[in-house]
Amino acid sequence: MTNIDVFSKDLSALHTPLVLAVTKKDDELQVPTFPALLDFARAAGMTGKLGEVNRVPSPHDFSADFVVFAGVGSPNTPADVLQNFREAAGNVTRSITSEELAFSFPTKNREEVLATLEGALLGAYRFAKYQSNPAKTLQTLYFPSGDALTETEYSQLQATIKAVTRVRDLVNTSPLELYPDSMAQAFKKASKNLPVSFEKWDYHDLKDQGFGGLVAVGKGSKRKPCLVKLTYAPEGAKAHVALVGKGITFDSGGYSLKPSSSMLTMKSDMTGAATMGAVCLAAAEMRLPVTVTAWLCLAENLVSGNASRVDDVITMRSGKTVEITNTDAEGRLVLADGLTMATAQHPDLVIDMATLTGAQRIAFGTRIAGVMGCQKDRIRDASVKVGEPAWTAPLPDYLLEHLHSDVADIANSSSKREAGMLVAGIFLKQFVGDTPWAHIDIAGPGFNTGSAWGYTPKGGTGYGVRTLLEVIAEMGR
């Protein structure tokens, strides 16, 4: 983990490479914290645009080897300033490899300090697990005192970074070693030193206790499904939030097999569960005054002589029967069983998160999640606030017709492609009853198959962690 060191030394006397923000105000280029270097920045080719990062040898009267200029654009609203600082700082730590960096950004309040630090720490992420010769990583981030944060703010920031890192690491891990049981063990281990209890339903428990969805999806693999429940229940909690995550450690599609090009990246189909587990642990680490239960619905969707067929009719944990019309619509089956368990505890809010539909990617692209369900607005608002914008979509009941089955209560997929993201949401809605609920489809933003940008790396992004922590923190206020 990167150390944060607050310093107040003379910037030009630093031996550590210095990062300077470059802005553009009323068409004028500025280096707000070091005006004397304006011409130097201009000569380095800076125009102040967000995304620009230029590394140049230091001026001769500097002690450090190099200086980095980072464009932060011309943000207008306070929220834009936060997001631009976050992204600009991330652009630097993502693209510059150095064990030490000193940041000098024109932060005017603690929110701006926090956003800059958050972006810098998130951008410094590297996944080197399988690399024989990993590059250096950022060890220490020097950050001018000015707006020194409180101990609590620092530890909450570190808990947030840890949670995002945990999600990225799990998502990026090869599915050869990450499967339902190993993922469960990872969370069991992580919960040991925290006030978080760990419970697990193994394959035989799932069969005995009627978890038809989890069993149908996971039984085709030698590495059987399981359900994990993490509970953080602080004394005097002001509310109870239940989190349900889709944890398909690899999605081949099953007998409704995916074409091989669509199967690539399907190790990331456990992102929802990884996020819910990491958020529960972080809430405990931050001692948020809210009870958080996380339900991780873990299964591997493979083909074998023991896998589900299409035409199979299964009985879910809730008692509803489902005709499997497409084995690749597996996420909703495992989530439905998780939602049944979560809602049975009557929490104040149930949120599920899943890489659920290709349709979500088509509709909203790769940076914005889709949020559905009666509690969608509060999720959207929190997501915009923390810079992980999600947007809302309706779940009109007439769409239930698309899931009509001639033999069972409901089918798991529609033969029509229209409104694929919403139809999946409508399926889930049948398992939540009256409990206040939001469904977040992160098929797009959960995994970055394009190039890295801002503080978002390629591969697992950790998108959604900060939104959920914000929602939980709000419920504790």
Is residue 358 a contact residue for ligand BES (CB under 6 A)?
Answer: yes
Smallest separation (angstroms) from Mn ion to the CB of 328: 4
169 binds, among Zn ion, ligand BES, Mn ion, none (CB under 5 to 8 A by kind): none
DSSP letter for 148, please: P
- Identify the three-state secondary structure at position 388: coil
90 versus 420: smaller Cβ distance to ligand BES = 420
- Quick one: the chain helix, strand, coil %, rounded to 5? 35, 20, 40
Q: Which of 413, 430, 435, 461 binds ligand BES (CB under 6 A)?
A: 413
Is residue 300 a contact residue for Mn ion (CB under 5 A)?
Answer: no
DSSP assignment of 397-454 equals: GGGGGGG--SSSSEESS-SS-TTHHHHHHHHHHTTTTTS-EEEEE-TTTTEE-S--BT
Distance of CA 245 to the CA centre of its chain: 11
For residues 218 and 206, what is the distance between their CA atoms, to the nearest angstrom?
A: 11
The stretch among 99-107, 180-188, 308-316, 327-335 that binds Zn ion (CB under 5 A) is: 327-335
Smallest separation (angstroms) from ligand BES to the CB of 321: 19
Smallest separation (angstroms) from ligand BES to the CB of 271: 9
What is the enclosing helix (H) or strand (E) of 230? strand 226-232
Is residue 441 a contact residue for Mn ion (CB under 5 A)?
Answer: no
Please, what's the b/e burial string for 39-69 (b: 16 or more CB within 10 A of its CB; e: otherwise)?
ebbeebebebebebbebbebeeebebeebbb
For residues 358 and 262, what is the distance between their CA atoms, to the nearest angstrom?
A: 10
User: What is the β-pairing status of strands 240-251 and 291-301?
Assistant: parallel
The stretch among 73-81, 100-108, 181-189, 325-333 that binds Mn ion (CB under 5 A) is: 325-333
Q: Which tokens hold the place of 357? A: 């539909």
Number of residues written out for the chain: 477
Smallest separation (angstroms) from Mn ion to the CB of 251: 4
In the block, residue with structure tokens 């992580």: 190
- Identify the three-state secondary structure at position 8: coil
Is residue 359 a contact residue for ligand BES (CB under 6 A)?
Answer: yes
64 versus 266: smaller Cβ distance to Zn ion = 266
End-to-end CA distance of the chain: 29
Is residue 328 a contact residue for Mn ion (CB under 5 A)?
Answer: yes
For residues 258 and 245, what is the distance between their CA atoms, to the nearest angstrom?
A: 22
Q: Which tokens hold the place of 386? A: 């923390």
In sequence order, what are the residues at sequence separation of 6 or more whose Cβ sits closer than 8 angstroms to the Cβ of residue 177?
none
Is residue 352 a contact residue for ligand BES (CB under 6 A)?
Answer: no
Smallest separation (angstroms) from Mn ion to the CB of 441: 13
Q: Which of residues 239-268 bind Mn ion (CB under 5 A)?
A: 251
Smallest separation (angstroms) from ligand BES to the CB of 263: 10
* Structural contact between residues 247 and 257, judged by C-beta atoms closer than 8 angstroms: no
Smallest separation (angstroms) from Zn ion to the CB of 254: 10
Tell me, by CB under 6 A, how many residues bind ligand BES.
16
Q: Which of 123, 213, 331, 460 binds Zn ion (CB under 5 A)?
A: 331
Q: Which of 328, 352, 388, 470 binds ligand BES (CB under 6 A)?
A: 328
181 versus 441: smaller Cβ distance to ligand BES = 441
* Structural contact between residues 353 and 295, judged by C-beta atoms closer than 8 angstroms: no
Residues tagged active-site: 258, 332
107 versus 461: smaller Cβ distance to Zn ion = 461
Is residue 251 a contact residue for Zn ion (CB under 5 A)?
Answer: yes
Is residue 269 a contact residue for Zn ion (CB under 5 A)?
Answer: yes
Is residue 329 a contact residue for ligand BES (CB under 6 A)?
Answer: yes
Question: Interface residues with Mn ion (CB under 5 A)?
Answer: 251, 328, 330
Question: Interface residues with ligand BES (CB under 6 A)?
Answer: 251, 269, 326, 328-331, 355-359, 361, 413, 420, 443
Question: Interface residues with Zn ion (CB under 5 A)?
Answer: 248, 251, 269, 331
